Amino acid sequence: MAEKQEEGSVEIALIGDLTDNEGDLTEKLLSIEPGGECTLYIDSPGGSPYCAISLMSLILLRKIRATGVVTGECSSAALWPFAACTRRIVTPYSVLLFHPMKWQSEENVGLAEAAEWARHFADLETDMDQLLANLFGVDAKLIDKWITPGRYVSGPELAKAGLAELLRLQPVAEAAGEADSKGKSKRPRSHSAV
């Protein structure tokens, strides 16, 4: 189960391939009351587009007020759950990869089935690109500009486009009462908090 903070907000680590962690991530999202809050800490290269649709749908259908924090990478399919968050936070070191959808089949399929997969995936790609723009609240042309070449977008660039807040990282304040080399008490440094 997801860890609950004292305030009742759930924290979920969305780390690694979404597909490999789909069951666990789904269970954690379902543990949040409809209309509840959570924080998603994201460091993921993506995974199955269907997994992304499922996680995004759970967030939206259950009206979960999610804060998405990109702690490292948020690429490919991981973009959809992040875009579904009501608050999106990136750091100067966050990286987001937008690219055209890719599909593969590890099974031997006939020509007719392969053609149907290609047709379906072309429709899905168009729909998902538009949905991503809608979730981010921007014109689809901006998202297409990043997707078409397959582009890495930095945290500051995403924030500048108005799609997320930029959180500057600073050292954690030192414990109050610690003495510096001169024997004086160090003052805690302030730091940004989520």
Q: What is the CATH number of the domain that holds 27?
A: 3.90.226.10
Q: What is the pLDDT of residue 62?
A: 98
Q: Is the pTM of this model over 0.95?
A: no
Residue 64 lies in a domain: yes
Higher pLDDT, 105 or 30: 30
Supply 150's token pair.
């397959």
User: 191 in a domain, yes or no?
Assistant: no
Give mean pLDDT, residues 32-36: 97
Q: Does residue 193 belong to any structural domain of this protein?
A: no
- Contact status, residue 117 vs residue 124, Cβ threshold 8 Å: no
Model confidence band, residue 141 (pLDDT cutoffs 50, 70, 90): very high
Q: Is residue 93 a part of any domain in this protein?
A: yes
Q: Is residue 178 part of a domain?
A: no
Read off the pLDDT of each residue in 128-150 and give the average, rounded to a whole number. 93
Q: How far is CA 163 from CA 21, 64, 96, 171, in A?
A: 26, 19, 12, 26
**138 Cβ neighbours under 8 A, 6+ residues apart:** 161, 162, 163
3 vs 147, which has greater pLDDT?
147
State yes or no: pLDDT of 7 exceeds 60. no
187 CB burial (10 A radius; 0-12, 13-18, 19+)? exposed
Q: How many CA atoms lie within 13 A of 129 on its CB side?
A: 22
pLDDT at 176 (0 to 100): 42
Q: Please compute, for residue 37, the number of CA atoms within 13 A of its CA located in the half-sphere on the CB side.
A: 9
Residue 102's pLDDT is: 63
3 state SS of 43: strand
Res 80: pLDDT: 96
Q: How many domains does the chain have?
A: 1
Domain that holds residue 37: 3-166
